[in-house]
Structure 1
Amino acid sequence: WLRRSEAPLADALAFAALWLAQEVFRGWFLTGFPWLYAGYSQLDGPLAGLAPLGGVWLISFSLALSAALLVNLPRLRARKAFLAVGLVLLLTPWVAGPAFKDRPWTRPAGDRLTVAAVQGNVEQNLKWDPAQLNAQLALYRDLSFSAERVDLVVWPETAIPVLKDLAQGYIGVMDRFAREQGSALITGVPVRQANERGELRYYNAITSFGEGQGTYLKQKLVPFGEYVPLQELLRGLIAFFDLPMSDFARGPAEQPPLLAKGYRVAPYICYEVVYPEFAATLAADSEILLTVSNDAWFGTSIGPLQHLQMAQMRALEAGRWMIRATNNGMTVVIDPQGRIQFELPQFEQGVLYGEVLPMAGLTPYLQWRIWPLAILCALLLSWALLAGRMAKTV
């Protein structure tokens, strides 16, 4: 629709702006499905250095613009001025990306913390079986009791597969153990509590105890897994949506970070880590990033590896260390450049030992988010439309 032979430069810029717009829309509509934006392809590529500047968004924009400019080069050659500008726009991100790679945008905020991330490798068909509850609680307890003494012990999403208020005795035992070890213990556990209207609701949550404190309620829920979009309309209309399924409530928007050993920890539960803007909001108010997940849903597919790649991008965007604890892999520790420093193999039971360094300071992306790029794209689209109208009147 926008492609015009008389305006090849405006055409290329408009295409890049529209490409970014559709990625943003996909991450917002019906709470969003921001899975695998184009920019993730550059995590280990030459454009990775742009992530701290403008996030995965800037990389996606640069890729779309590069592709459109390459397609339009023959038309740009007709006008030398446009060709020169086009070549500058084409080369700039591919020069800037390597130039900014490994630049230290953040600084250490304290001493290194030792970490033990426990991977239980519980099969999905056993995860919520009441007959397996005691076995799962004993599994995480025993793996932690036999682990080396560390500053921070992390269990994955819903490692305690029973409501928090029904597991107080067990949590009390682990709390005393963590305090005796001088450790903070963070685990996933579902929570039942009243919302602001006094209604009793269920939440997917993380809680911290021992030398830590705080409970975080998940905000970004998985469509059709944890809740049904447009539930009031769909239930009764389509038979499938009348089946019993998860009905978690969304946690409030303003929640403080978790605390562990005196440091602020930005918590992401499973799917939340794939939202760039949401993740940046929490990261800006923390020194360490943490994501817990149960990727057993993916089976042996490529899904867990894609999920890990997006978590790596969040660490790179924020310039912070990230701990990723999962039920069956990939359990890893990621450095501020998005590189995996410690990892456990998939589908194995064990404890991952590693270290993280609390970081302070904001990358340009954490400070400005998507707004500069969004304004630029709005201006580019306006220019493209104006150029089209002017061409028609000539």
Structure 2
Amino acid sequence: MSTLNDTLQKLSDVAANPAAQLNAIVAQGKKAIGCFPVYSPAELVIAAGMTPFAVWGAEMEISSAKKYFPSFYCGIAQTCLEMGLNGKLDKLSGAMIPVLCDTLKCLGQNWKVGVKNVPFIPVIHPQNRKLPAGVEFMRKQYVTIAEKLSAISGHKVDAASLQKAIDICNAQRAALREFSDVAALYPHLISPAQRNAVIKSGGFMDKGEHTATVRQIIELCRQQPMKDWDGHKVVTTGILADSQALLQVLADNRFAVVADEVAQESRQYRTDVPADADPFNALARQISDMEGCSVLYDPDKKRGPMIVDMVKKHGAQGVVFLMTKFCDPEEFDFPMVKKALDAAGIPMVSVEVDQQMRSFEQARTALQTFADVISA
């Protein structure tokens, strides 16, 4: 048990201190590229001989970014820009910023103007991503991005290096999917905060090292006996679920996260890059294969039914919708997700989250009440 706890703590320390990880990468003589929300092609960074480094904002006060964004902007975009403006991301050799929503479009343009030390690399996804023309457009975008990354690293991205990088990232995705399933079986061993840390830390570490550590955690869990959980099993959904204060509220109220539909978590690893003779085309096809994401065009709105299936598969008692403040795509999806859950008779609670939140008492009250509701 001590070995399991030690391994979980190792990843928790990584997730809690990304700056130390970035410093360590640079100290080793490596270059790191910032991978901003929601879908930045880490495979291209690895193929170019550099390290992908996740940037999803931070819990911090906003000062300089207020000059570029109005106060009612998504906190993730604001804190990402704040870190760029105040020099905390100066050790990055580039910043890949997708333009999947209106806020991210402005983040990229403001980054280009305000952050002089870290080059801006736009990642432009097609709206009609499932059409052959959409896949071809995405492929051309990836070729362009690869050329920019190669210019930074001095290492040309070719088919062989990209395929190797795809294999590395797919292996990590497979390990995280298995970990999520195993964590659902061992809620007495894996707390909500630890589950999040295992997933989140993968954005700051060497992919191979992270995969090996996740595999170790899986095996250590399986060596322990399974126990009946006397708390509540829930599925989480939203953009972010990494607030330590909020995760502690979940733990305090005996909530176990048995699955998630969260952008920073399972949306990053639930869809593999498919096999294809052309690895650039394979990477483009991955985007077309993704389903149920609020920032990707989805006329069928499959997210609600997907969450219903997660609840049934894992025997969850309800859903916790973590609503990122001022996030238009999530607010647009909310009524459709609620409608699907209501039709299936699945209770849901919505909790507003923001990286500038300092008090979680309102969330605590909502989750305490929800625990009573699903226990009745």
What TM-score bracket applies, with the shorter chain setting the length? under 0.3
TM-score normalised by length of structure 2: 0.24
- Ranked by relative contact order (alpha carbons within 8 Å, sequence separation 6 or more), the top structure is 1
TM-score normalised by length of structure 1: 0.23
Higher strand share: 1
Higher helix share: 2
